[in-house]
Amino acid sequence: MQVKSFAIWANAEKEKVPALVQNALQWASENNINVHLADRLKSISIDGDVSYFSTQNPPEVDFLLCLGGDGTLISGVRIFSNPSVPVIGVHLGGLGFLAQITPEVLIDKLEAVKNNEFKIQDRLVLSAKISDNNNSFYAVNDFVVQNETSFRVTSLSLFIDNQHVSDYKSDGIIISTPTGSTAYSLSSGGPIVQPDVFSIIVTPICTTFSYIETSCVAT
């Protein structure tokens, strides 16, 4: 892949973001590569002219650079999902599983991409439709099905390929990708699944059970 352009999506509230953006812009300028910044980064003081984009109109680029945590990366993937582009995630503090590159090696990793010294790892993405809605929805982590009223238990039936699997009385169920197995699913008791395993995880949330109450009378 010959890199001609990339976009930067970042959490502007992170302390390290302004310096990292400046470093990435300087590297791009030295290598004659075009950069597009998310308009949420307009608060950062930038030297020279910069092209900004909105979430409704993302540019066509060779890859996306995300600066922040897992939430930042997932939101960036959602914006650049049609068509999808490779994503580089730089992890800035806190707990993170998706964005694994540290700020100290950012320029080295950008050089590796420019020199085609990288591998692309595909991740499973879920697609869902609601019965009374023709729109398709996509998730990198998970979909959660629950009662509109958060404190009410709901009854759900799970079918796979029109075959009944199970019934649940619970706060809801989480339908997760392997990528999302370390998120909400894990906190609800679900398993950790390696990202390269092609599977879908179903995790009920706070399940209850039904019982029959009987009484014994001595005679």
Active-site residue numbers? 70
Distance CA 156, CA 21 (A): 46
Helix (H) or strand (E) holding 91: strand 87-91
Pairing relationship of beta strands 87-91 and 63-68 according to DSSP bridges: parallel
Please answer whether residues 25 and 5 qualify as being in contact, where contact means their C-beta atoms are separated by less than 8 angstroms.
no
Distance CA 174, CA 113 (A): 35
Please answer whether residues 158 and 144 qualify as being in contact, where contact means their C-beta atoms are separated by less than 8 angstroms.
no
Sign of CA dihedral 178, 181, 185, 191: positive
Distance CA 165, CA 55 (A): 39
Distance CA 50, CA 57 (A): 16
Q: How far is CA 48 from CA 45, 72, 146, in A?
A: 10, 26, 49
Please answer whether residues 98 and 74 qualify as being in contact, where contact means their C-beta atoms are separated by less than 8 angstroms.
yes
Q: Which residue has the tokens 């019965």?
A: 131
